[in-house]
């Protein structure tokens, strides 16, 4: 559970909830709710927390006991929410710090972030349904169902769905990014 891992990282660094809130710009109430499992953090929240702890987002999940073989089943996967909850990711891999694979559904008119952002990884997106618009370093790519796109994530990027239908895709990131 992410709350348990967050509490462990926070206490290991000797931080109170208020001190962590000050470092992340998040509210102590939100952090407390995440630690207690009352609310799921958004991807933006996880990125802020990972940045403070010098960890990847994947490392914030308590997967220390993940077996060498792991089966991902619908309904049992942890989830991440994108900005404003417009995109929801299901984690298809355990967080071992080497590879993150996520299933996403991007609603009509939504984007994964307001502005393109960059991180030190290689990213691959495979479109299952619809057409995904991928903006990379101010160049727009249209990736249709059955197609994939792979790129250096150090280039500012984001995923957009300008259509009237939802887009379903799988994104793989190695190594997982903060």
pLDDT tens sequence across 39-96: 777 767 877 887 787 766 666 665 555 557 778 788 887 777 765 667 888 888 876 6
* pLDDT given for residue 138 in this prediction: 95
> Can you give the pLDDT at residue 11?
85
What's the pLDDT score for residue 163?
96
The whole-number pLDDT of residue 64 equals 52
Residue 114: exposure state from Cβ atoms within 10 A (0-12, 13-18, ≥19): exposed
Least confident interval from 88-97, 122-131, 142-151: 88-97
Domains, in order of start, for the chain: 2-60 (1.10.260.40), 79-174 (2.60.120.10)
Q: What is the per-residue DSSP string for 73-124?
A: -TTSS-EEE-GGG--EEEE-S---SS-EEEEEEE-TT-BS-SS-B--SSEEE
Residue 142: what pLDDT? 98
Q: How far apart, in whole angstroms, are the C-alpha atoms of residue 171 and residue 86?
A: 16
Q: What is the pLDDT of residue 61?
A: 60
pTM over 0.75: no
For residues 55 and 75, give the distance between their C-alpha atoms in angstroms, rounded to a whole number: 27
Q: Are 174 and 98 in contact (CB under 8 A)?
A: yes
Question: Residue 122 — very low, low, confident or very high, per pLDDT cuts 50/70/90?
Answer: very high
Tokens of 93: 């891999």
Q: Is the peptide bond before 133 cis (omega within 30 degrees of 0)?
A: no
Of 26-35, 81-90, 163-172, the range with the highest mean pLDDT is 163-172
- Lowest mean pLDDT: which of 4-18, 22-36, 59-73? 59-73
C-alpha 118/C-alpha 115 separation (Å) is 10
Best CA proximity match to 129, nearest among 144, 142, 111, 141:
144
Identify the residue whose tokens are 């996880």: 46
Q: What is the mean pLDDT of residues 10-20?
A: 86
**Is residue 176 predicted with pLDDT exceeding 90?**
no
Per-residue pLDDT, 57: 63
């Amino acid at each position: 559970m992410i709350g348990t891992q967050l509490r462990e990282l926070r206490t290991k660094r000797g931080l109170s909830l208020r001190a962590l809130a000050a470092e992340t710009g998040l509210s102590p109430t939100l952090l407390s709710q995440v630690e207690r499992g009352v609310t799921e953090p958004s991807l933006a929240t996880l990125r802020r927390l990972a940045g403070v702890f010098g960890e990847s987002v994947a490392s914030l999940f308590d997967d220390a006991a993940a077996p060498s073989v792991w089966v991902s089943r619908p309904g049992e996967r942890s989830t991440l929410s994108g900005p404003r909850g417009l995109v929801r990711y299901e984690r298809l891999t355990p967080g071992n710090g080497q590879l993150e694979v996520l299933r996403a559904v991007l609603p009509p008119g939504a984007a994964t972030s307001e502005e393109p952002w960059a991180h030190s990884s290689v990213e691959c997106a495979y479109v299952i349904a619809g057409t995904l618009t991928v903006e990379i370093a101010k160049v727009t790519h249209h990736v249709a169902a059955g197609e994939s796109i792979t790129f250096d994530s150090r280039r500012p990027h984001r995923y957009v769905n300008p259509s009237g239908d939802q887009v379903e895709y799988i994104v793989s990131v190695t190594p997982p990014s903060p």
